[in-house]
Amino acid sequence: MYLPRTLLDHLYSYLLRTVHPLSPPVLVLVALEPDALCACRILTALLRRDYIPHKIQPVAGYGDLARVGDELVQPMRIQEGGSGGVVVCLGVGGLIDLSAALGLDNEEEGNTAHGVEVWVVDARRPWNLENVFGSLQSARLEDGRERREAGVEQGKISRDYRPGKGGVVVFDDGDIEEELQAEKEAFLALQDMPDVDEEEDDDDGGDTESEDGNADGLDSGTRKRKSWSDREEDQSGSEDEDGRPTRRRRSNSSSPIPTSPSRPPRRGLLTSSQHTSSGPMFSLSASPPSNQQSSAPITTTTAKAPSARTLRRRLLKLRRKHENVLRAYYALGTSYSEPISSVLYSLASELGREDNDLLWLTIVGVSSTDLYGRTMSPSVRATSTRNEKGERINRILRDEVRRLNPTPPADLMRERDISSSTGVIPIYARSPTDTSIRISPEPRFLLIRHWSLYDSMLHSPYLASRLHIWTDAGRRRLHKLLAKMGISLKEAGVGYTHMDIDLKRGLRERLLKFAPVYGLDGLVPDADSSRSGHEGWGFVRCWGWKACLSAVDVAIVVGAILEVGTSLLDNTHSHFASTHGLPTPPTSAASSTDGDGAQEAEAAAAVASKDPDYTTTRFYAAYDALASSSPTNILAHIPTAQHLARAILRTGTALIAKHQIRHLRAFRMAVVKEAAGVSAEDVRLFAHPGALAKLALWVAEGVAVLEGERGKRKAEALVLASLDEGRGVYVVVGLGGGDGRGVDYGREKERSEKKAKKDASKEAKRIEREKKKAERKRLRAQRREKDDDAQDREKPEDVDDDDDEEPETESDPDSDSSSDSDSDSDPDSSFTATRKGVARNNFGNAFQAVVAETGARVKVDSFEHCVVEVLKEDLAGFLEALSLRSVVG
C-alpha cells in the first residue's frame, strides 16, 4: 500500500489517538547514512513530544535486516503472542519485498492479520512494487473472490483506512502518483490474473489461428500446419452452411482455463473491463444455448466462439505484456528521489510541529545527498527534472528559514550592507544567545571555517577536478589563482577564522572575478542574490559564541563518523588544535603523508582495533553529533572529517597520476591496493563502502573533466574496488555514468550562451509573427470599412484572399524554424539516462546478471545495490564478465 503525499499525517495521527501506556514501542530501523540519521532525529523528536514509546535500531545492510526481523519484528506478530505494532524503516528496504525480508509473509497462516504495520520512507528507486501495491491485507470469500480492506483502493490509502491489521505502507513523496500509473495498472492486472502453465502451451506445438486470421504467440511471421488434434478441436466447434453444428462439442468445452494447483480457481472469467489493456471481451463458455438444438435450421451464421486454447494464448500474451512493463521498470537502474529528511519535515509541518531544530536537521539531511552523488542541487551538473525538484526543495527550505528566523531590525541594515553586498561568509553569531539559521553565500570549499583557506581549496573535489590538483601544474594553478586574488600563500595558510578581515570581506568578489579564468564558474553562488532569490546559497547555524557551522560541514562530519569511526578522535586531538589559528605553510598539505602520516597511520590502525562494531558505535556517535542543543560533538569530530579528506586526496592523486585507472570495454576500473601506490592505512580506510563511494565520486569527477577537455561528451562508468585484507574480499563500487557527470565541462559556458541565443531568437520570431498578424487584422478592418453594399459581390473574393493569407502565416518559415528549434534537445540531455531525465545507476542490475552468469562468490549486503563484496580469488573473473556488459546509464 502507499500513503499519498496529501495524507502524510494520517497514520501518525491515528497512532497518536490510539497509543496508551501498554502499547508496544515503535521500532525505528535506520540506515547508516546522514540523511537517514537526520530523519530519525526528526521522527524521534515528534515521538518524544507526544510521549510515544519507541526504540531505535541501526541497520547496516540486508544481513542486519534479516536478523532484526527474526529477533525483534516477528515476536511482535499476533500469531507469536505479540500485540502487533509499528515498524518504521528510514532508508531501509525500499528495493526489496519487506514482508518477506522481515518474515511477515507466512503462507501457512493464509490471510490472517499479523498486526505488524511497516512504514517505509526511502529515497532509493525503483520501488519494490510488492510493497507499493501488493501488501494488502485481504480476506477470501466463499466464492473465491477477495474482499479488499476498507480505505484501500488499488493500493492507495484514503482517509477511511484504519490501521491495525498489518501490512507494508510506503510513504509517497509524489513519484508514485505522478510516474507509476503504467506500472500500477500492470501490477494489479497481473495480481488478478489466473495462473496459466506456459510449458503446457508450448507443448501444444505451433500457433493457432485466431478469429482475425493472425498467428498468436510466435515472434516469427511463419505459420505452421495444424496437427490432426488441432483440426479436430477446430472442427468440433464449426458449423455447416445451414448453421447446424457438424460435430457435438466435448463435455468439458466450457471448463475454465487450467490454473496451477497452488492457486484456487477463484477467477474464472477475464474481461477487458477488469484491466486497462485493450482487447475484446472473451468468455470461457462456448456451448450454444440449449433450445438451439431443437429449433428449426438457422439461416444466419453465428460467430464462432474462441476455443480454450485460443483463450489461453491470449491470456499468456496479455500477461507477458504486463510483465514486460514491470521488467522494464526494474531494469531502469537505481536513482534517488526526495531526501527522507525532507519527507519527515513535511510530516512535522502537517502536524504543526515545525521549529528551528527540525528545520536544521532537514537542511543537513538534504545537504548530505550531494556528498554521495545523489545531488538534487542545480549548482552540480544534474538533469533537468532532478534540477527542478531539487531547487524546489531548496527554495522551500529558504522560505522556511526566513519564516522561522526573521532578522532583528537592529541587524537588518548591517547585514544588508555587509553580507548581501559583498557576500561575507558568516563565522560569528549575532549575540551570545543567537541560535538562528541564516542563508550564506557558501563557496564550494571544504570545511573552510575549520581549516585554512589553502587546505580548504586544496581538498575541495570541485577545485581538484578542474585544476588537476593531482599534478604539479595543478598545484601551481592553485597558487596563481590565489596570487591573482591578492592573497599570499602565507596568509592562505592561516586558519580562515584568523585571516585579515578585509580579505574575508572581499573574498567572494575576487572569486567571482578570477574564477571564470580557470573554468570555475560554479565556485560561488550567483552574484545577483536579489534576482535569483539566493539560488545556490547555503545554510549556516550559530550556537552563540561557541560555533558557527554550515549544513554541508555538519553533513561531512557526520558522514566521516560513520565511515571512519570514533577512535581517531584521541589520536588527532593535537593535530586539530594546531590547525586552528596557527600558520601552516602550503606545503604541509601536500606533504601530509610525511609530516603527520605516522600519526594518522596510528590513528587508522586504532580504528580497526578499537572500533570493530561500527554499526552500533558509529551510529550513536553520529546520532549524538546531530544534537541541536550543543555543537560540542560535531567540533570534536572535525579531525575525523579532515583525515578522510586527506586520504581521498592522497589516494585519488595516486590513482590518476600513476595511471592506475584502466579503460575496459564498458567502463573504467581501478583497484585501491598497496601495489597502486596507496598506503596500507588508506587501503584499510577505504574498505568501508561509504568512504569508497566518496573516493569513487572524486575520481569519477576528475576523469570526467579530463575526458571533457579532450572533447568526449559521453559519461564513462567507473568501477572502484578496495581490498579488505582481513576478510579476504574486495569491496566494489560502481558508478553508472548516468549521474550527470562526464559532461563536457570545458563547453558549459558555450552551451549556456548558445541556449540564450536560441531563446532570444525564438522570442524575436514570436514577436515578428505577432506583428504580422496584427497588421493583417488592421488591413482587413480597413477594407471592411471602405466596402459598401454595392461591392458585396466582390467582398467574398477579398475574404478568400485573406483566408488564403492565414494558412500562409501558419506555415511561415519562422514557425517551422521555431518548431525545429524546439525539437532540438538540450546538449546536456544526451548525458541523462532513462525516462523523464532522472539520473540512474545501472550497476546493481549488471552485478546481479554477472553473478548469475559466472557463479562468482559475491555478497550483496548493502542497501546500495551498486556496492558488492567479491571474494579475492573471484575478482578477476567477475570484472572480466562485467566488462562484457553495457552498464552505462
CATH number at residue 716: 3.10.310
Same domain flag for 532 and 615: yes
In a 3-state reduction of DSSP, which class is residue 557? Answer: helix
Asked whether the predicted pLDDT for residue 239 surpasses 90, the reply is: no
Q: What is the pLDDT of residue 737?
A: 52
Task: Please work out, in degrees rounded to the nearest 5, the angle formed at the alpha carbon of residue 531 by the alpha carbons of 526 and 534.
Answer: 50
Nearest Cα residue to 842 out of 738, 720, 741, 740: 738
**Total length of the chain:** 889
Nearest Cα residue to 851 out of 829, 827, 826, 875: 875
Q: What is the pLDDT of residue 507?
A: 87
Same domain flag for 431 and 361: yes
| Rounded Cα gap, residues 623 and 608, in angstroms | 21
**Most confident by average pLDDT, 118-122, 140-144, 700-704, 876-880:** 118-122
Give domain status of residue 237, yes or no: no
Q: What is the pLDDT of residue 303?
A: 67
Pick the more confident residue, 239 or 766.
766
- What DSSP designation does 73 have? I
Pick the more confident residue, 659 or 755.
659
pLDDT digits (tens, 9 = 90+) for 670-722: 999 887 778 888 899 999 999 999 999 999 888 888 888 877 666 678 999 99
| Concatenated DSSP letters of 831-873 | GB-SGGG---B-HHHHHHHHHHHH---EE--SSSTTEEEEEGG
Same domain flag for 538 and 552: yes
- What DSSP designation does 744 have? -
Same domain flag for 827 and 837: no
Same domain flag for 404 and 548: yes
Q: What is the pLDDT of residue 535?
A: 77
Q: What is the pLDDT of residue 344?
A: 95
Same domain flag for 618 and 576: yes
Q: What is the pLDDT of residue 136?
A: 54
pLDDT digits (tens, 9 = 90+) for 486-544: 999 998 988 888 888 888 888 888 888 888 888 888 888 865 554 556 777 889 999 98
| Rounded Cα gap, residues 684 and 636, in angstroms | 23
Q: Is 486 left (phi over 0), alpha (psi -120 to 50) or beta?
A: left
Alpha-carbon 389 to chain mean position? 11
Q: What is the mean pLDDT of the chain?
A: 74
Q: What is the pLDDT of residue 217?
A: 39
Pick the more confident residue, 834 or 472.
472
Give domain status of residue 403, yes or no: yes
Pick the more confident residue, 104 or 373.
104
181-195, 310-324, 550-564, 728-742: least confidently modelled range = 728-742
| Rounded Cα gap, residues 888 and 109, in angstroms | 44
pLDDT bin (cut points 50, 70, 90) of residue 223 is very low
CB atoms within 10 A of CB 18: 11
pLDDT digits (tens, 9 = 90+) for 798-848: 434 444 443 333 333 333 333 333 333 333 333 233 344 456 788 888 888
Bridge partner residues of 437 (DSSP): 541
Q: What is the pLDDT of residue 634?
A: 92
Pick the more confident residue, 660 or 595.
660
Give domain status of residue 854, yes or no: yes
| Rounded Cα gap, residues 118 and 89, in angstroms | 7
Give domain status of residue 812, yes or no: yes
pLDDT digits (tens, 9 = 90+) for 415-469: 555 444 456 788 888 888 888 999 888 889 999 999 999 999 999 999 998 999 9
- Give the CA distances from residue 387 to residues 359, 383, 752, 827, in Å, rounded to whole numbers and listed in that order: 22, 6, 15, 15
Average pLDDT over residues 173-183: 89
Runs of H (alpha helix) within 214-259: 228-236
Bridge partner residues of 3 (DSSP): 171
**Most confident by average pLDDT, 134-143, 468-477, 529-538, 572-581:** 468-477
Give domain status of residue 144, yes or no: yes
Give domain status of residue 859, yes or no: yes
Same domain flag for 819 and 846: no
- What is the Cβ-side half-sphere exposure of residue 733, based on CA atoms within 13 angstroms? 25
Q: What is the pLDDT of residue 38?
A: 96
pLDDT digits (tens, 9 = 90+) for 107-121: 565 556 788 999 999
Average pLDDT over residues 590-598: 39
Residues 6+ apart with CB under 8 A from 593: 650, 679
Helix then strand then coil, % of the chain, to nearest 5: 50, 10, 40
Domain holding 482, by residue range, is 355-637
Give domain status of residue 209, yes or no: no
CATH code, domain carrying 162: 3.40.50
pLDDT bin (cut points 50, 70, 90) of residue 58 is very high
C-alpha cell at 682: 588508506
In a 3-state reduction of DSSP, which class is residue 546? Answer: coil
Number of domains in the chain: 4
Q: What is the pLDDT of residue 134?
A: 80
Residue with cell 561500527: 614
Same domain flag for 522 and 429: yes
Q: What is the pLDDT of residue 200?
A: 58
Q: What is the pLDDT of residue 56?
A: 95
Would you state the torsion angle of the CA atoms of residues 341, 717, 846, 829, taken in this order, to the nearest 10 degrees? 70
Same domain flag for 846 and 779: no
Same domain flag for 754 and 824: yes
Same domain flag for 700 and 576: no
pLDDT bin (cut points 50, 70, 90) of residue 783 is confident
pLDDT digits (tens, 9 = 90+) for 240-297: 444 444 444 333 333 333 333 333 333 333 333 333 333 333 333 333 444 444 444 4
Nearest Cα residue to 734 out of 871, 845, 649: 845
Q: What is the pLDDT of residue 663?
A: 86
Q: What is the pLDDT of residue 242?
A: 45
Asked whether the predicted pLDDT for residue 590 surpasses 60, the reply is: no
Give domain status of residue 292, yes or no: no
Asked whether the predicted pLDDT for residue 150 surpasses 80, the reply is: no
In a 3-state reduction of DSSP, which class is residue 712? Answer: coil
Q: Which run of H or E residues covers position 57?
A: strand 54-59
Nearest Cα residue to 654 out of 712, 722, 710, 608: 722
In a 3-state reduction of DSSP, which class is residue 128? Answer: coil
In a 3-state reduction of DSSP, which class is residue 672? Answer: strand
Instruction: Give the distance between the most distant pair of CA atoms in the chain.
Output: 112
Residues 6+ apart with CB under 8 A from 719: 667, 668, 669, 670, 732, 733, 734, 735, 843, 879, 882
Asked whether the predicted pLDDT for residue 221 surpasses 60, the reply is: no
Average pLDDT over residues 593-600: 42
Task: Look at strands 858-859 and 867-871 and give their pairing.
Answer: antiparallel
pLDDT bin (cut points 50, 70, 90) of residue 751 is low
| Rounded Cα gap, residues 297 and 293, in angstroms | 9
pLDDT digits (tens, 9 = 90+) for 311-364: 888 889 999 999 999 999 998 888 899 999 999 999 999 999 999 999 999 999
pLDDT bin (cut points 50, 70, 90) of residue 178 is confident
Please, what sign has the CA dihedral across residues 286, 289, 293, 299? negative
Q: Which run of H or E residues covers position 795?
A: helix 795-810
Bridge partner residues of 548 (DSSP): 542
Same domain flag for 727 and 782: no
